[in-house]
Chains A and B, each alone.
Chain A
């Protein structure tokens, strides 16, 4: 199974170019799509999920041309949108059974068994007969995950799935996805680096509608080996460091400001070497993108 996205472009009527010549090849397993808010992740997810047409480009999954045969793709798709609602007066059991029916699970017994199993899996069993209008944000998110898993989909798209989940539920979700990811193509769109680093064996970073980087998380991290440096500074010094060094991120640790710098050599004696993380790689990509943009503006 393979999802191939080629030269995808999308410009909205207000002139915003959401996708710029996006090309990706996604194989079986977990694929992380990392990007800031507004980077174009959801546009890409919606387009793959047949909810939006691209201006140009193609998407193919297992021989299915998504633009031409959206119905075929929907037969194998599980989709969890970034934001979604529910019918407030329906119960989880009712709505999931209905969605299972719509997904083509026509045998009532099988439908019931799968719905019940998935409800248990997402930890909503106790609340299965409650009306969805009374669900908390986290419960609703779990409901969303449950519906995406119905019908044994071969392509699962989850858009910002861990938003609203507490740490325990997030762990449960990671386990769930990792189980599924063994036999299906799972695209995990997120702005949380930890989601990708925990789960994905392939990834891409997207920014302003463009694919900025693709690869395996480990390889991407390795690309920064011995080039990441960290230092504790005073708050007022930050601007000077940003003016003179490649400060890719800054954070507070125990009340002190820590900066992370990418450089081939030790910037000064007070820096110490840091083992690169996926987060560093991500920040580095975003830093480079900002720098390029600034350079273009200056030019």
Chain B
């Protein structure tokens, strides 16, 4: 019997054209996702049809596959109830258990066959035209079959079992859908969260699709191994499968035991039927003569408006009254609450204070699920009359379409509002229960959750889209497919970088994920407003056209539907639709002007192209002798509210080259406008200027050893608004500006060169063997690693800012005063230092203390007072460590400041340590790991101060070992003293995990540590671990004393890490050397 059921089900399923369409869509997805995965793996050795790419796609499955499964699976079992054929089938002389199994196997096989579309798509990748022939290798058939059956088929089996079990237990089609979407939601949360986790094991286990495990395992593989390796299956994988597939099997077996025709059909028979029948019997003979009273009928616009509101209220009640809605709402509330109290990890190791901004994050992490739920609910409501088959009655009623349909739209807006209020309620509750009631910020709740930054207004935009699609198609099923499908496409396209311009992504607004405690939404608050207005105009068109297309009675064909002359929407309505459409296009062009034309956004490909053009056009400048910057005095006026700065810079230059310099080449930053340029007080004209690539030439000649002063007066102002970059150097509050953001750079800028060999190859540039100059490069050895165009230099800075804000600049604060209603500050460097200087301006609260005789000030956002004592303790411990073990701390005053999170996490520049807001200021430091992290980050930067002022770094390979890894390794000693060995182990474990995860995505070739060439994952992870291990092998005291002596020996000569390494090595035993050599001189496969 099972085989008969199988044959029938397969035959009937594959006779439907829709099944073929599903299959073709998945073929397309197989190609599309592969391209996305290829973009993720940046190394040029990874092929476009590499096994790793395919494994990841097989594990993820993709949203399209999930939708298809959700549509197909439940129907296979439930269709007899749905189409009322149960009366026939369930009375046949068949074994109901075999029937159940037959239907289950049919559903599973159908899913597998349709899912094989992804496999076919991947096999077609080399012929799809998405890449040049050299991007493809031999098709990894074995790995593909392995991946498909191990991952895709396994996941399909799991989902089919869970869906069938849900149908049996709940006897509702919706239960089948929801079970699948619940798994998807858990997967999405695990997948998105694992990216920031130090140890992904937990996420590997909770991910039902084993995607996180697959991605983590494959990401860690070397680039070329990604092409042909089989996925290695470790214990975590088996446990994951045991939990998820085993758990699903258990639930399925329980459902199998429970399933019977009588039980399954009971839902349609209705439990209350007996009561009704009794009532009917009682009344059947109660005949009486009744006169129907007459009524007055009124059909006026005013009455229709009243009806509209009454109907909207009624529809709203109809949605929210059923028990299943309340159950879903309760589950959602529980999820929101649990996430708020349990999952609010930041960049560092652990939890944070219950700030409102972290509470409203739930709208983003759960946003996918919330939006999908709302869209499905909306689709169901819009077709409620059709679904319940009352449409022939309601459509013949004398009310205009706008009353009946628009009321449903408004009712859905009400449902969305209920959900948004639930998010707020759960957030407030979590804050109160976490002891953070004083953190409740209702204005921010309203802005985030009720506004258009993926809040209630965004929900409304998407509901409007569903309304439009419902009207256009007149088909419930198609409405679900198209609206949810478009939503997936929209989100995934931007997530994978296939689409970049937000103006093409309906309902998307910029900056929603980038809320800063210091700067709020910054420039995005303006940008998102205009994007929202644009989408609102389109949403209005959608709603009006939804009314226009919605047809009473039997469906019209599309041609008739698209006709202008229909009676659904009156002429003013049509006029309004046209006006809104025009407004939408005008707003599109306005955004193009403000965002694109004003230079605030470029496609990634355009940026890469520009960098390639820069190298091609100006590489020759590198060989031209140029002067060095020897002193820099700046007067800077900051106007944060206007996102503007004006600078007057005196750049003291000296020609240390043996020959004459005939021209001065300057690179200048975006948005910079030169007002005046003088050389030794004489006005000079620019010889030529390339505004596109930001390069200019000044007719300045300098003899060898000649000095001179270049005076530059310039403005920098961001005009328009952005959709991507936060433009943090001119933020409203908490601006943090690199001196180079406003001061021109001398000579050729090597940092603009493309570093990924794949990109270099695509733009006909020679591949790099290393990202930094070799140890034999004499020119680079003479350059400073921080600033090749400068010597160590002094400077004086007079900076003014807006009232209420405080300025931080490098050096010692000489004085501060007010003038013309502005705050002014004068800073001056105490001693020459590397040219790596920053300026900051923000509204700060401050706290002062002293370490020995060193005055220290901590500047932080007023509300972020939680860990000030810990910062103070960390500063004291580190200063004492430096003074005792390395040498005198170099500055006479110190400032610790909080900055927005837009740029690097931590900065050290003369007299200042800048720490990102997300790196501890509002961390919950009840755990030792969090406290240790704060100590570690402070100690690292203070030790960097000592190193930067005592050691000249050569601009060659290994420089970042001295700049980054060495201070971190020394900071771990401070951590150990303050928090114990276990705290160090936690930090090292995190670094190990990050290194192992990130090295697989190395774009070129991973070098040994002694030749480390400045790549994020290497020095600060493997480098720190290796140096800490070396210090343990040598003994911490010996390690630091050798270091201290070596630094002294170097005096003013540029230092190379390899020398230091060899110095240390000389004091190791042979076995120690052998052990250490592996870490520093070799690269693990």
Contacts and interface: CB of A to CB of B under 8 A. Distances in A.
A200 interface: no
Interface stretch (A116-124, A249-257, A287-295): A116-124
B400 interface: yes
Contact of A84 (B280, B291, B389): B389
Contacts of A114: 292-293, 295
Interface in A145-164: 147, 149, 151-152
B283 A102 contact: no
Nearest to B272: A134
A185 to B, nearest CB: 15
Contacts of A139: 276, 280
B1071 interface: no
B385 to A, nearest CB: 9
A135 interface: yes
A127 B306 CA distance: 29
A90 B315 CA distance: 11
- Which of B273, B276, B284, B292 counts the most chain A CB atoms within 10 A? B292
Given A51-B395, A102-B307, A120 B283 contact: no
B321 interface: yes
A60 interface: no
B1085 interface: no
Interface string A105-126: 1110011011001101101111
B554 A98 contact: no
B295 A74 contact: no
Nearest to A87: B388
Given A75-B299, A134-B275, A134-B276, A87 B390 contact: yes
A130 B282 CA distance: 15
Given A52-B554, A84-B393, A87-B390, A107 B295 contact: yes
B552 A51 contact: yes
B400 A71 contact: yes
A212 interface: no
Contacts of B98: none
A38 interface: no
Q: Which of B310, B388, B398 has the largest count of A CB atoms less than 10 A from its CB? A: B398
B397 interface: yes
B730 to A, nearest CB: 57
B684 interface: no
Contacts of A118: 292
B293 A85 contact: no
What size tier do the contact residues of chain B reach? 35 or more
A106 B303 contact: yes
Contacts of B233: none
Contact of B398 (A104, A121, A127, A147): A104
B318 interface: yes
A89 B553 contact: no
B279 interface: yes
B295 to A, nearest CB: 5
Contacts of A133: 270, 272
Contacts of A120: 288, 290
B447 interface: no
B192 interface: no
A161 B279 CA distance: 22
B276 A144 contact: no
Contact of B396 (A49, A101, A113): A49
Given A50-B553, A114-B293, A102 B398 contact: yes
Given A114-B293, A117-B291, A123-B287, A144 B393 contact: yes
A71 B297 CA distance: 14
A102 B397 contact: yes
Interface string A62-99: 00000000110011010111011111111000000011
Nearest to A78: B396
B297 A103 contact: yes
A51 B392 contact: yes
A104 B298 contact: yes
B331 interface: no
A113 B293 CA distance: 7
Contacts of A134: 270, 272-273, 275-276
A115 to B, nearest CB: 10
Nearest to A125: B283
Contact of A79 (B270, B297, B396): B396
B294 interface: yes
B280 A127 contact: yes
Q: Give 8 closest A-B pairs by Cβ, nearest first.
A: A85-B389, A51-B553, A81-B392, A74-B398, A104-B297, A134-B272, A126-B283, A75-B398
20 contacts: A46-B553, A49-B392, A50-B552, A50-B553, A51-B396, A75-B299, A75-B398, A79-B392, A101-B310, A101-B311, A102-B398, A103-B297, A105-B297, A107-B295, A110-B293, A120-B288, A126-B280, A126-B283, A126-B286, A127-B280
Interface of A: 13, 46, 49-53, 70-71, 74-75, 77, 79-81, 83-90, 98-107, 110-111, 113-114, 117-118, 120-121, 123-127, 130-131, 133-136, 138-139, 144, 147, 149, 151-152, 168, 172
Given A71-B567, A98-B314, A104-B299, 16 more contacts: A51-B552, A74-B398, A84-B390, A86-B388, A87-B388, A102-B311, A102-B394, A103-B397, A104-B398, A111-B295, A117-B290, A117-B291, A127-B280, A134-B273, A168-B284, A172-B287
